[in-house]
Structure 1
Amino acid sequence: MSARQPRPAKRSLKRFWRSRDGASAVEFALIAPVLITMYCGMAELTQAMMAQRRLSNIASAVGDLVAQGSQTGPLKMADVFKVGDTIMAPFPVTGALKMCVASVTSDANGKDTVAWSKPSASGMTNCPAAGSVVTDVPVAVLPANQSVILSRVSYTYTPAIKFVLSGGLTFNRTYYLRPRKTDAVLWNLAS
């Protein structure tokens, strides 16, 4: 009798290795982490693309609002920056969204100088200071003896899931718009 006991154990071991009953579960367990990672990555990528498109809309709208007037000032600029915050909703803007509007004028020699500049947040590094010379404005955009409104916007996108993209992405947009009513939009402290 003792010689027959190993045979059933040997047969059940062979049946276990040949059985395909749990193959689907094992395959799913191997593929599921890859699929979940891809799904989370696509969700994060989609949200980042939406934030980037809203940022382009903000740069265009903020610059356009300033270019429509003949003068602007601190009160009008505060309202313009609120419009930018509203466009970015539902994405968080506190500390992430930075806007800058400046008037750049070109002299007869083609030297581009910042007439005035207003950042939405202090410490914005890519906002040119008033009186500074800028060299990155294309000549086709700002010919000699002309003026243009420079609108620069920066947004640091932080993903909600943080599964695939652990850090934030910083998007930057720059728009140049010509003043519509006058040759140059003037800065007025009372406005």
Structure 2
Amino acid sequence: MRRDPTTRRARPARPLISFWRDRRGVSAVEFALIAPVIVLMYCGMAELTQAMMAQRRVSNITSTIGDLVAQTGQAGPSKLNDTFQIGKIIMAPFPASDLKMCVVSITADANGKDTVAWSSTSSSMPTCPAQGAVLTDVSVGVLPANQSVIMARVTYAYASPIKLVLPNAMTFTRTYYLRPRKSDVVIWNNDI
């Protein structure tokens, strides 16, 4: 029997089968599925790296401003303003608007009572103890009786520019204690 050329029998869907077996676009599809994950990981690592750099700068600022004051025999308003400006310069390229610095001289009497002799801040900082305040959180190993230390405290609110992985600001706080070097105590002098 011969087939009539005018009547066609329904063929299976060859184009669908050939489309399913075609492997030419597999790489593009795989990349489209993986790309969002890779971009998220890249942005996350960039954000975390920037946050770690900001945290490291906060540590450097704290030790530097404390060290600068501990090296002098006297401190005053203009000298501390210059010291705080140095801290802002160290913070670059991060914005220094959220940077808060505090330098405090703490003395201990013969009984080990720790009292703030003087205090200076770069801006309002609630965690900076005021002059005359009695501190109870300084260990004896840091401040023995009849001695003095300089306490430097810095806080910085880091806000990520990308805000993909870190949408909220992170606050970094560092506190360093340094012994005065040129004298037993760093004296406050309003004239310098």
TM range (shorter): over 0.9
Structure 1 residue 2: Cα displacement: 5.9
What amino acid is aligned across from residue 7 of structure 1 in structure 2? R
Q: What are structure 2's unaligned runs of at least 5 residues?
A: 1-5
Structure 1 residue 47: Cα displacement: 0.9
Answer yes or no: is 1:7 the counterpart of 2:20.
no
Structure 1 residue 16: Cα displacement: 1.2
Q: Which of the residues 90, 98, 104 maps onto 2:106?
A: 104
* Structure 1 counterpart of 2:62: 59
* Structure 2 counterpart of 1:70: 73
Local SS of the residue matching 2:134: coil
> TM-score of the superposition, structure 2-length normalised?
0.93
The count of residues paired between Structure 1 and Structure 2 equals: 187
Equivalents in 2 of 1:108, 1:53: separation in Å?
A: 37
Structure 1 residue 136: Cα displacement: 1.6
Q: What are structure 1's unaligned runs of at least 5 residues?
A: none
Q: Deviations over 1:74-102 (max 9, x none)?
A: 111100000000111111001x1000000
TM superposition outliers: structure 1 runs of 4+ over 6 Å: none
Answer yes or no: is 1:36 the counterpart of 2:42.
no
Equivalents in 1 of 2:155, 2:14: separation in Å?
A: 69
Computing the radius of gyration from Cα coordinates, the structure with the larger value is 2
* Structure 2 counterpart of 1:84: 87
Structure 1 residue 3: Cα displacement: 4.0
* Structure 2 counterpart of 1:190: 191
What amino acid is aligned across from residue 179 of structure 1 in structure 2? P
Local SS of the residue matching 1:108: coil
Equivalents in 2 of 1:156, 1:86: separation in Å?
A: 16
What amino acid is aligned across from residue 163 of structure 2 in structure 1? K
Equivalents in 1 of 2:169, 2:33: separation in Å?
A: 30
* Structure 2 counterpart of 1:49: 52
Report sequence identity in percent.
66
Answer yes or no: is 1:172 the counterpart of 2:176.
no
Equivalents in 1 of 2:63, 2:151: separation in Å?
A: 10
1:2/1:172 CA distance change after superposition, 3 Å: farther
Q: Deviations over 1:88-118 (max 9, x none)?
A: 1111001x10000000011111111111111
